[in-house]
Amino acid sequence: MNELALHILDLAQNSIRAKAKLVHIKLTEKPADDEYLIEISDDGEGMSEEQVAKANDPFFTSRTTRKVGLGLPLIQQNAEATAGNFQLSSEKNTGTHLKVKFGFHHIDRPILGDMTSTLLILATNEQQTDFLYTHQTPKGDFQLDTREVKKSLGDIPLSNPQIRKFIMDMIQENLEQIQISD
Amino acid sequence: MAKIKSLEDLKKLKDEVQAKIKLREKGDNPENLIQIKVSMATCGIASGAKDTMNYLIEELDHQGIDALVTQTGCMGFCYAEPTIELNMPCKEPVIYGFVDKTKAQEIIDKHIKLNELVDGIIPVNYKTIDE
């Protein structure tokens, strides 16, 4: 996967599968400290200590449809290739917290990519999981709370084409305001 | 500089859309809706399921076909990603493998519009006694 947005889409699906009510996705860009942080926290089922220990083993998964689980190992590899690191902590029935650090200026750091459609795809998930997205760069902050969006929409679904287009533009424009690199 | 869209603007748009939806609400029934599920786990995403999903949503909207496109987990056909499950009203669901934009277009043109099956179906022919 060559975009951070794809990793986020992938890992946030884990939270949806863990029946989380709210998932907080936090991106912090700190070029001065040479850091690009991605944090994903959820209030889902959580994992046992044993599962946490095995989570970055590519041949471990809680799924039954296949025998490999590559989501976490892939982002760990990408992060470590940019002199970053990877921390996963989880508590059963409380939630999971994932923190991945990339080297901001490292040539191997993937670009953020199409975060807009990642957020839209996540927001229209089947489990009705809500997302809080925070993005911080030296130029400013952007925050999107799908609970607020749903509240302003009432009973109109997010998947309505006109609404979808509007939210897409809204996220795009806001992200462009705080963009410092591609 | 143009004003950045905000939640306030969204509320205005909501009222517009709501009026439109009310008009055709009577004909809407979840069972009559075309449903497409795009497999979106690590395997699907790495093979471009996101592009496929965006393309399906845009193309169906562009052609004015009412359909619900959602994402789902891994269906176990990792070798054939991106995979989609197409649920036509009152029909058994059909799973297609290797769905890129060209394939997606073919599925819309032939399967959804004309009800002709397209190459690339992954057969799901085993059912247990319990089902």
* Res. B109 pLDDT band, cuts 50 70 90: very high
**B115 found inside a domain:** yes
Residue B22: predicted pLDDT: 66
Domain count, chain A: 1
pLDDT for A136-156, tens place per residue?
999 899 999 988 888 888 878
Whether the complex's predicted ipTM surpasses the cut of 0.90: no
* Res. B126 pLDDT band, cuts 50 70 90: low
Q: Per-residue pLDDT for A101 more than 90? A: yes
Residue A117: predicted pLDDT: 87
Q: Which CATH number is A14's domain given?
A: 3.30.565.10
With contact defined as beta carbons under 8 Å apart, do A115 and A7 qualify?
no
Q: What is the 3-state secondary structure (H, E, C) of B10-36?
A: HHHHHHHHHHHHHHHHHHCCHHHCEEE
Q: How far apart are CA B27 and CA B33, in angstroms?
A: 10
What percent of chain B has a predicted confidence (pLDDT) above 90? 28
pLDDT for A13-67, tens place per residue?
888 888 889 999 999 999 999 999 999 999 988 888 888 888 888 888 888 778 7
Q: What is the mean pLDDT of chain B?
A: 83
Q: How far apart are CA A131 and CA A21, in angstroms?
A: 8
Among A1, A160, A167, select the one facing B45 at the smallest CB separation: A1
**B1 found inside a domain:** no
> What are the chain B neighbours of A71 within 8 Å (beta carbons)?
41-42
Q: Per-residue pLDDT for A174 more than 80? A: yes
Specify the length of chain A in residues: 182
**B130 found inside a domain:** no
A69 contacts B42? CB cut-off 8 A: yes
Q: What is the mean pLDDT of chain A?
A: 88
**B57 found inside a domain:** yes
Domain count, chain B: 1
For the full predicted model, state whether its pTM sits above 0.95: no
Among A126, A152, A173, select the one facing B7 at the smallest CB separation: A152
Specify the length of chain B in residues: 131
Q: Per-residue pLDDT for A112 more than 80? A: yes
**B5 found inside a domain:** no
pLDDT for B24-75, tens place per residue?
654 556 667 888 999 988 889 999 999 999 999 889 988 888 888 888 888 8
Among A10, A63, A126, select the one facing B45 at the smallest CB separation: A10
> What are the chain B neighbours of A149 within 8 Å (beta carbons)?
7, 10
Domain span at residue A22 reads 4-178
**B128 found inside a domain:** no
* Res. A182 pLDDT band, cuts 50 70 90: low
Residue B1: predicted pLDDT: 47
Which chain A residue's Cα is nearest to B18? A156
Q: Which CATH number is B116's domain given?
A: 3.40.30.10
Residue B6: predicted pLDDT: 81
> What are the chain B neighbours of A175 within 8 Å (beta carbons)?
none
* Res. B92 pLDDT band, cuts 50 70 90: confident
Domain span at residue B78 reads 29-122
- Angle between the B49-62 and A161-178 helix axes, to the nearest 10 degrees? 130
